[in-house]
Amino acid sequence: MQKYPQGRMSHHFREMKVGDYMSVKGPKGRFKYQVGQVRAFGMIAGGSGITPMFQVTRAILENPKDKTKVYLIYANVTSEDILLKEELDSLARNYPDRFQIYYVLNQPPESWNGGGVGFVPKDMINNHCPAPAHDIQVMRCGPPPMAAHLDDLGYTKELQFQF
């Protein structure tokens, strides 16, 4: 398992010994999706934050009556950290007109040409998510700085949802 020096959970995992228990709860926030709820979703996920995004994306795309578009920015430290990559790539191939994914790596391999590098700055959100509008929503599950970027780009609190 990858452990990150600044990761919130990595610290706890480093301190655990075989046989220790940890109580967890979640997910944070309740989200109920209805077909036609919005024209498009912007999604920003970091690491394991992909799990709720993947569930919502799959529910949208696999419903033949749903025309909602999904734009996902998925950030990780290394390419080995990308969870559900085969499944996400398959969705992108099968629904090219409704699903776009943009991978971001903080420590990319030398041959990385799969997306962005570093963290998720405002201009990346601006370029890979739908613009603020009454019929879009942006969901995020990842580091707190993402929230400030959304505010700065004009996504009101009503247009945002945090898992």
What are the helix (H) ranges across 7-162? Answer: 8-15, 50-61, 85-94, 122-128, 145-152
Strands (E), the chain: 40-46, 69-76, 99-105, 115-117, 136-141, 160-162
For the chain, domains (ranges, CATH) are 37-162 (3.40.50.80)
What are the helix (H) ranges across 1-159? Answer: 8-15, 50-61, 85-94, 122-128, 145-152
Q: Residue type for 110, please?
A: E
Residue range 15-27: mean pLDDT, rounded: 71
The number of CA neighbours under 13 Å toward the Cβ of 89 is: 8
Place of tokens 């739908």: 130
Percent of the chain residues topping a pLDDT of 70? 87
What pLDDT shows up at residue 33?
85
What pLDDT shows up at residue 111?
87
Percent of the chain residues topping a pLDDT of 90? 62
- Per-residue DSSP letter, 158: G
pLDDT, the chain, mean: 87
Q: Is residue 140 scored above 90 in pLDDT?
A: yes
Provide the residue count of the chain: 163
Label residues 64-73 b or e (16+ Cβ within 10 Å = b): eebebbbbbb
Q: Is residue 3 scored above 60 in pLDDT?
A: no
Of the two residues 161 and 70, the one the predictor is more confident about is 70
What pLDDT shows up at residue 103?
97
Q: How confident is the model at residue 96 (pLDDT cuts 50, 70, 90)?
A: very high
Burial status of residue 100 (CB atoms within 10 A of its CB: 0-12, 13-18, 19 or more):
middle
What pLDDT shows up at residue 36?
87
Q: How confident is the model at residue 109 (pLDDT cuts 50, 70, 90)?
A: very high
**pTM score:** 0.83
